[in-house]
Amino acid sequence: MHKLATILIIAGVGFALAACGGLVKGDNRQNQPLNSGLVSAIKAIGSTPGEGMVVRLFKEESVVEVWKRSTAGQYRLLKTYQICAFSGGLGPKVKEGDRQSPEGFYNITPGLMNPKSNYYLAFNTGFPNKFDRSWGRTGSDLMMHGDCSSRGCYAMTDEGIAEIYTLARESFKGGNPSFQLQLFPFRMTAANLAAHASDPNMPFWKDIKEGYDLFELNKTPPTWDVCERQYIFNTTSGVPLDAMGACPVVTASAALLAKQAADEAAVANHIQSAEQQAASEAAIKARGEAVTGAVGGLFGGIGSMFGGQPDVAPVITGQPAPVPMPALVRS
């Protein structure tokens, strides 16, 4: 009985680990070298394998971007990968079992890398992070991995995750303690924000948009922390904040304020244009229906003037039809 219980426990642990990134005996895939194409691409953007990196992901576009820090200090786009699959829809992960993929900002350390994943190679997103925990969000083993199959994770091709994994390994070797993973529902453009303006996740998306904007402006990953249960970026104190406590005052740059104002105006214009378009289409449809009704009424009236009768469905009685009367002959 004791032996059977032990077997069941081991089987249960194996099933749990297999959820999205369990462990298997593998080859030396985690130590494969950078391919020559990536080496050339890194050199072409003025970077080296050991420089820092940033990974940005966009659900709606199904793409992952890898950026590398150049020797000049700013980050430049190295390569874009297609996402094979991700679980759920737009919006953050809230609780274990909701089959949603996370959104937000995460710092990936060497301890989150999984070289022996059931899904070829993988790294843990770090969900739940400080922000997620402040909202009581739950979930475990939320990975970016290979095998093109997702159950709450972000699935890549084996080739794609191998390159990203190798790039991360070389960045760690270069002395970088982590790389930033930015997970977005979509590119934070005015058109996309307007298209999803009524989504209940919009307050959260506007929160993480500031981090998106800072990277777009500066081409360096913003530092992030959590206070008042919201993200805050580029604080200067260097002291970890209380996720539930008051936020410190952070002075936004003129460039950031200008971008935010321009984006808000563009979102409003997109929404107004969409409303006007919808109203115009509704008016055209109403006019078309009115014209169709009027024409139908006109021909119905003309038909009645000439003795026309409305269509009457034949009555089927099963009885023989009567013999028609002979035609009337007028002299």
Cis check: omega of the bond before 128, within 30 degrees of 0 = yes
2 flagged as catalytic: no
User: What is the C-alpha to C-alpha distance for residues 263 and 281, in angstroms, rounded to an integer?
Assistant: 27
Q: What is the dihedral of CA 212, 253, 255, 58, to 10 degrees?
A: 0
With CA atoms as reference, report the closest residue to 125 among 172, 205, 32, 55: 55
Residues 30-51 as b or e (16 or more Cβ within 10 Å = b): beeebeeebeebbeebebebeb
DSSP 206-225: HHHHHHHHHHHHHSSPPPEE
CB under 8 A, 24+ apart: contacts of 237-243 = 243/130, 243/131, 243/133, 243/134
Q: Which of 2, 20, 84, 153 is catalytic?
A: 153
Q: Which of 145, 196, 247, 270 is catalytic?
A: 145
148 flagged as catalytic: no
Q: Which two tokens stand for residue 265?
A: 């105006």
Place of tokens 């003037």: 305
User: What is the C-alpha to C-alpha distance for residues 24 and 116, in angstroms, rounded to an integer?
Assistant: 5
Q: Catalytic positions, please? A: 145, 153
